[in-house]
């Protein structure tokens, strides 16, 4: 007889009884607050079409590269998990169940349990013996009308959800959702049109120019980007997102930029030239954000597709994007020299190199008006990492120079758990400051309230 | 009716009751110990002239770029805070009060409250409603004879206070203070005469050579520096302080150094040459410290004046000096190869890149006789950061290879609070080691006593 | 009357009573488990010859550069400690006793106390007053038959102990030990034959080629290395260990590699060529490990022999090997592209730059099948550092992508204390996760059991 898990209502709160009591009170204030999700990767089609989820494995495993990577490391081939092809979903779930012990202590394991328990109401311990039982229950739940994407959107209490979209997307789905009362907004994500080393870069630029009927000049290219940004703004977008390995920016003279553009388009630019072009385009994105008001978010410091053979066979987002050291201070200086204090400009910096929190991000955000410290991201949106983040930035920059939590996920069922995790972690941090006599309880309460709604809404202009 | 704050006597101590009790005992041993402040930025004129402080805003806000930067980030222009010009002090205080919530959890906020409470005896919560009330009380206090610089110097229990001074300073004020029984000692700070990229470098060198009647040769330049160091020693200095972006050192042959000197003086040296010159001069400063006994302190890893427009309008120290990654191990190797174990040489290394604590500073200080680990500095002299520092270095280097706390501040009213913070943080750290059975209580007591007096006095040769 | 220490049975466990109770239970499960030591530096002769230890100072101080370095930093010359020559052992012990306060809070100090107390049964406080008394007791103990290396090996409960050996070692001692029932296995450590900048590199290669009767070609050199690896495998080795300053790897074409080999052998290769050769040889070592099954361990990020004068006078391992920043992500990419998921290949990565734990090692080990996160090493195998390590990697990679603890030591008497420290630290970490409701107690118990035996045995193929 599989034993039901019993979720500890005080989970993730600090062990010291006095601090825990304070943390519990702070958490309870915000536990039920609506979810503000200004950056994520849920496919808009899910909500627009509102079809039932295909099956539990497809929803919970196959497309979650946080989960597939650990199974891959344990020797499970990605194709057996349905990555890049079809696989029997029950067998896929069975593979996770068989390796479930590997997820103990991980964020992914925690979210999986939360999704099963809090969303699907399944309390049995995951494991080989319960694999079929749990699979059947999950499948049954997902067939119920209460478990369609929109029904869950309502049940999760999502106030606003941002998707991440290709600049050429027509965004009709977002319009449709708006018409039916769901605030699901697009995000402009132009990386593949800006980075000469992106796959199919030249074809992408050609499509961009064709779609906007712009000439193949640097000015035409900029105008095309501006036009598509405008299209996004008209369809509800509030931000433009940029994923870069290195947050380098360069303020080039127009002639130099034009020359580089011609080179990258002709495929003749060398590595140095391609890097300079990329850096100048990040600068240009800031210029456009200052002009059109889109919040600029930068997710920096990830070397994408580390294992080329896996990338070539299975594509991007298959578990081997690896963080690298990041230098925001020198890299962003040209951008910040020019736009760092520009009126209304919001620049949110996300890092996966924890060393930048106290050394770079908190000091930058403590001076530049545009700079907000992005919430812990990717591998770092987990309880301990969130605690380290808060400890690293608060003494320098306080609580009001942060972005508020973003879930950054495609794993729809985990969205409540991710926001709940952040709320518990922030309550725990605040409680320690109260217990140590550093802030008053009333102050902590006001901050806890701020962090889950007003703050991210201000930062993301929602 | 504004509510008075009630300062928690156990503030900053750990929440666990048993550990807290130990920490309280350790703290109480040292809470009242005299303040040894071997590095800081209080203007010597304040103490020499002993005039009343001009007004609360000038004293607590305008010149404290820890405070003005967060207000700037929040949209308050620096000129409204009196930076680089005049502003109505009551209005300046009002701006802080209006934005006071931004300082919750920050070190600056904590020190401001401590200054108001412990120094000025004002217990009301800072905020818009209390702004005028508090301002009036502060102004009244500062007009009282008990609140002149010297009266506070006595009340704070300052045993010795080091200022930071230009190499050409005559140091007459220090002599005068010594004559009247206050130990206020100068510190030799030659950056602007050593760094070819410093503003007015060539004019500075010309003034240095003129003042010492030395010829414009490299030997003359070295002799000039040596002469001024001697002047400082004769007027009570115990240390020479060096602020560098990169702690690179180079041991160059005399001809090479002479050639570079000619180049930087003629303005013809390229970036590479200027860097080499700077690195060689850091090496020369070590050589001189070995010879004349001045403790060498190096504050490394800060990119100064990140936002050029602000620097040009408002000058240096206006809130946008930003830490960068630092490499002490390779950078200092030439210096340490030559002088690292030299008799009587003390080299105190201060960092704002926390990653160097366990990786570089503790291992270096655990071997080289000259090397002492500088206390957490700048953004890191706050409770959590001090705890991280202790945890990062202690297991490798123990408690006796550190410098002892330095306040590094111009914010005179915050000096007791800063030292008190360090004492509480160290007591908390020691208490945990006692609670975890790692050191005996008696050992912790002896260490706590050491850290606040005997240790910094030995390291700084006081 | 010197006071006996009373070792706290709960030492190193967290202070919070509830968490401590959980930690105590977890610790007690594994406190008596056999010691698995898959990487270390105990001289095989000690066990093979089983002679009594020469004297306490030689055993506990002179050859432990963790200990001598702190005494050196305090001004004690290495020769007075017997380094590189003879010294009166009682006087050496006296020097430690005199400076004992410097070791408070350090890992070395903790291990010394543990060795005295738990191994030698000496409970007096170390210090000048007890120096002679303790020395006499230690000497008496070491003269007893219960204190020979083999007797202690049994008493320590060592199940398997790996030594670290020169590729040309005949390994006869290991055979003899195996015959007498002690599992003491060799480890292939070829650095000095791979790194053109190693002292006597060319002579080393010549000896290697001569011993294997291989020609002085790159193919002959590779064959010689393969042959010696085979020799090690035949004598029980399970791993090959590589110490590098920079974990750079390069996959060079055979002609290019051959050309570089000729250059490094002729002494004509420049720094760039020597670096490329070293990087290619690390790649070749992976290729060989894939072929012959030896676990590949990489200890990266240490600048050896920082102080050249000390190295020249006293040799290597004299306390001034200093960690430097390390980049595993780009450095190892060529190796991982090719072998990262190879069947049966185990690559254990040890770091002394803590920043790589969350940024690089956990993400790499969370995808690549070959990659295991090496336990905290060198300066980091101490309680707080182990806690930071667990917190940095667990949320990303769980508990099963680590190597299990290695003691990496020559300090034979400290081996039980080092493993005990890791067990207490891991129990403390697991207990916190239980107290915070993140993992069930039963899960924590299974993990605690795994970490001390099954896990390192799997990773090291024992």
Quick: pLDDT tens for A396-434.
Answer: 999 999 999 999 999 999 999 999 999 999 999 999 999
Q: Where do we find the tokens 């959980």?
A: C22
d(CA B400, CA B409): 24
Last residue of a domain, one of A146, A163, A189: A146
Residue A12 has its nearest CB partner, among C333, C364, C436, at C436
Pair C352, B329: CB distance under 8 Å: no
- pLDDT at position B3 is 55
Say how far residue B49 (Cα) sits from the centre of its chain: 23
Phi, psi of C325 (to 5 degrees): -55, 145
Residues 6+ apart with CB under 8 A from A354: A380, A385, A388, A389, A392, C355, C358, C359
Helix (H) or strand (E) holding C2: none
Tell whether A324 and A389 lie within a shared domain. Answer: yes
- Is position B33 within any domain? no
Burial call C331-352: b when 16+ CB within 10 Å, e when fewer: bbbbbbbbbbbbeebbbbbbbb
- pLDDT at position A7 is 82
d(CA B6, CA B29): 23
- pLDDT at position C172 is 97
Residues of B within 8 A of A439 (CB-CB) are: 104-105
- pLDDT at position C5 is 62
Sign of CA dihedral B374, B377, B383, B384: negative
In this predicted structure, the answer to whether residue A50 has a pLDDT above a threshold of 80 is: yes
Burial call C174-184: b when 16+ CB within 10 Å, e when fewer: beebeeeebbb
In this predicted structure, the answer to whether residue A39 has a pLDDT above a threshold of 90 is: yes
Q: How far is C363 from chain A (nearest CA, A)?
A: 6
Model confidence pLDDT, tens digit, residues C121-132: 999 999 999 999
In eight-state DSSP terms, residue C261 is H
Tell whether C133 and C157 lie within a shared domain. Answer: no
Q: Do B398 and C319 touch (CB under 8 A)?
A: no
Residue of C nearest to A322 (CA): C363
Q: Which residue, among C8, C71, C302, C306, would best test binding to B if mutated, counting the most B CBs under 10 Å from its CB?
A: C306
Name the stretches of chain B with pLDDT < 70: 1-6
Helix (H) or strand (E) holding C30: helix C17-30
Q: Total structural domains in chain B? A: 2
Burial zone of B106 (CB within 10 Å; 0-12 exposed, 13-18 middle, 19+ buried): buried
Tell whether A77 and A165 lie within a shared domain. Answer: no
- Is position A22 within any domain? no
Residue of A nearest to C444 (CA): A104
- Is position C300 within any domain? yes
Residues of B within 8 A of A368 (CB-CB) are: 73, 307, 320
Residues of B within 8 A of A369 (CB-CB) are: 72-75
Distances (CA, A) of B69 to A290, A346, B174, B313, C452: 22, 17, 31, 15, 51
Residue of C nearest to A74 (CA): C369
Residues of C within 8 A of A357 (CB-CB) are: none
Q: Which residue, among C68, C105, C307, C355, would best test binding to B if mutated, counting the most B CBs under 10 Å from its CB?
A: C105
Tokens linked to C228: 């010696």
How is A13-44 classified by DSSP, letter by letter?
S-SSHHHHHHHHHHHHHHTTSPEEE-S----H
Residue of C nearest to A326 (CA): C359
- Is position B22 within any domain? no
Name the H helices within B115-189. 131-143, 149-155, 172-179
Q: How far is B341 from chain A (nearest CA, A)?
A: 31
Q: How far is C327 from chain B (nearest CA, A)?
A: 14
Helix (H) or strand (E) holding B296: strand B295-300
Chain A and chain C share a number of CB contacts under 8 A equal to 131
Q: Do B308 and A358 touch (CB under 8 A)?
A: no
Last residue of a domain, one of C113, C146, C179: C146
Q: Domain holding B114: CATH number?
A: 1.10.2020.10
Tell whether B295 and B363 lie within a shared domain. Answer: yes
Q: Where do we find the tokens 């300079």?
A: A276
Residues of A within 8 A of C14 (CB-CB) are: 15
Residue B184's beta-bridge partner residues? B161
Look up the pTM and report it. 0.97
Identify the three-state secondary structure at position B349.
Answer: strand
Residue C12 has its nearest CB partner, among B365, B398, B436, at B436
- Is position A43 within any domain? no
Closest CA to C418 of C15, C113, C55: C113
- pLDDT at position A154 is 97
Q: Do A395 and B379 touch (CB under 8 A)?
A: yes
- Residues A177-192 have a mean pLDDT of 97
- pLDDT at position B2 is 47
Q: Do A327 and B322 touch (CB under 8 A)?
A: no
Tell whether C155 and C228 lie within a shared domain. Answer: yes
Tell whether A124 and A191 lie within a shared domain. Answer: no
Residue of A nearest to C342 (CA): A75
Q: Domain holding B356: CATH number?
A: 3.20.20.140
Model confidence pLDDT, tens digit, residues A289-299: 999 999 999 99
Q: Would you give the end-to-end CA distance of chain B in angstroms?
A: 49
* Residues spanned by the domain of C382: 149-459
d(CA A226, CA A212): 10
Q: Do C329 and A323 touch (CB under 8 A)?
A: yes
- Is position C240 within any domain? yes
Pair C363, A379: CB distance under 8 Å: yes
Phi, psi of B312 (to 5 degrees): -65, -35
d(CA C112, CA C370): 36
Residue C414, number of CB atoms within 10 A of its CB:
25
Burial call A22-39: b when 16+ CB within 10 Å, e when fewer: bbbbbbebbeebebbbbb
Residues of B within 8 A of A401 (CB-CB) are: 73, 102
Residues 6+ apart with CB under 8 A from A294: A188, A229, A232, A233, A237, A238, A239, A240, A288
Tell whether B163 and B225 lie within a shared domain. Answer: yes
- Is position A78 within any domain? yes
Tell whether B111 and B247 lie within a shared domain. Answer: no
Closest CA to C406 of C455, C356, C340, C346: C455
Q: Where do we find the tokens 């998990």?
A: A81
d(CA A270, CA A268): 6
Distances (CA, A) of A29 to A401, A428, A447, A451, B271: 22, 13, 11, 12, 56
Name the stretches of chain C with pLDDT < 70: 1-6
Residues of A within 8 A of B308 (CB-CB) are: 337
Closest CA to C173 of C236, C241, C228: C236
Last residue of a domain, one of C116, C146, C176: C146
Neighbours of chain A (3+ CB pairs under 8 A): B, C
Tell whether B215 and B102 lie within a shared domain. Answer: no
Neighbours of chain B (3+ CB pairs under 8 A): A, C
Q: Do A73 and C447 touch (CB under 8 A)?
A: no
- pLDDT at position B7 is 83
Q: How far is B383 from chain A (nearest CA, A)?
A: 8
Residue A211, number of CB atoms within 10 A of its CB:
14
Tell whether B399 and B412 lie within a shared domain. Answer: yes
Residues of B within 8 A of C353 (CB-CB) are: 355, 359
Residues of A within 8 A of C362 (CB-CB) are: 379
Pair A285, A240: CB distance under 8 Å: yes
Q: Do A367 and B69 touch (CB under 8 A)?
A: yes
Compute chain C's Rg from CA coordinates.
22
d(CA A290, CA A347): 10
In this predicted structure, the answer to whether residue A1 has a pLDDT above a threshold of 70 is: no
Angle at CA C341, nearest 5°, toward C338 and C346? 100
Tell whether C169 and C131 lie within a shared domain. Answer: no
HSE at residue B93, side-chain half, CA atoms within 13 A, is 23
Q: How far is C297 from chain A (nearest CA, A)?
A: 18
Helix (H) or strand (E) holding B394: helix B383-397
Residues of A within 8 A of B320 (CB-CB) are: 367-368
- Is position B6 within any domain? no
Residue C350's beta-bridge partner residues? C299
Give the torsion through C-alpha atoms of A22, A26, A31, A34, to 10 deg. -170
d(CA A150, CA A41): 16
Tell whether C405 and C256 lie within a shared domain. Answer: yes
Closest CA to B90 of B51, B33, B130: B130
Q: Do A70 and C359 touch (CB under 8 A)?
A: no
Say how far residue C11 (Cα) sits from the centre of its chain: 24
Model confidence pLDDT, tens digit, residues A306-316: 999 999 999 99
Helix (H) or strand (E) holding B239: strand B239-244
Angle at CA B422, nearest 5°, toward B419 and B424? 110
């Amino acid at each position: 007889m599989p034993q039901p898990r019993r979720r500890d209502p005080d989970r993730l709160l600090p062990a010291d009884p006095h601090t825990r009591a304070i943390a519990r009170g702070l958490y309870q204030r915000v536990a039920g607050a609506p979810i503000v999700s200004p950056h994520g990767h849920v496919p808009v089609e899910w909500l627009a079409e509102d079809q039932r989820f295909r099956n539990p494995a497809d929803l919970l495993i196959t497309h979650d590269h946080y989960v597939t990577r650990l199974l891959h490391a344990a020797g499970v081939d990605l194709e057996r998990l349905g990555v890049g092809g079809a696989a029997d979903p029950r067998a896929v779930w069975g593979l996770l169940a068989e390796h479930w012990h590997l997820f103990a202590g991980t964020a992914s394991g925690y979210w999986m349990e939360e999704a099963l328990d809090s969303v699907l109401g399944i309390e049995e311990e995951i494991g080989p013996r319960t694999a079929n039982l749990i699979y059947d229950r999950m499948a049954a739940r997902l067939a119920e009308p209460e478990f369609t994407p929109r029904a869950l959107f309502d049940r999760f209490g999502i106030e606003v959800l941002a998707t991440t979209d290709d600049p050429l997307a027509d965004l009709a789905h977002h319009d449709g959702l708006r018409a039916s009362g769901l605030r699901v907004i697009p995000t402009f994500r132009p990386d593949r049109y800006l980075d000469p080393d992106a796959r199919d870069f030249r074809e992408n630029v050609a499509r961009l120019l064709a779609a906007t009927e712009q000439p193949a000049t640097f000015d035409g290219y900029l105008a095309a980007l501006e036009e598509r940004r405008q299209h996004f703004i008209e369809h509800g977008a509030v931000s433009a997102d940029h994923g870069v390995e290195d947050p380098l920016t360069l303020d080039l003279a127009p002639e130099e930029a034009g020359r580089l553009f011609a080179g990258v388009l002709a495929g003749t630019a060398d590595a140095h030239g391609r890097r300079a072009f990329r850096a100048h385009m990040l600068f240009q994105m800031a210029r456009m954000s200052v002009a059109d008001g889109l919040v600029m978010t930068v997710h920096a410091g990830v070397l994408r597709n580390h294992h080329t053979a896996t990338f070539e066979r299975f594509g991007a987002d298959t578990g081997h994007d690896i963080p690298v050291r990041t230098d925001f201070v020198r890299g962003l200086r040209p951008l910040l020299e020019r736009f760092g204090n520009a009126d209304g400009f919001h620049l949110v910096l996300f890092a996966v190199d924890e060393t930048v929190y106290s050394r770079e991000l908190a000091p930058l955000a403590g001076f530049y008006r545009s700079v907000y410290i992005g919430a812990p991201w990717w591998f770092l949106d987990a309880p301990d990492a969130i605690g380290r983040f808060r400890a690293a930035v608060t003494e320098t920059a306080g609580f009001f120079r942060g972005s508020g939590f973003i879930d950054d996920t495609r794993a729809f069922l985990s969205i409540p758990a991710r926001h709940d995790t952040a709320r518990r972690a922030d309550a725990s941090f605040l409680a320690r400051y109260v217990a140590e006599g550093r802030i008053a309880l009333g102050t902590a309460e006001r901050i806890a309230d701020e962090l889950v709604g007003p703050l991210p809404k201000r930062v993301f202009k929602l």
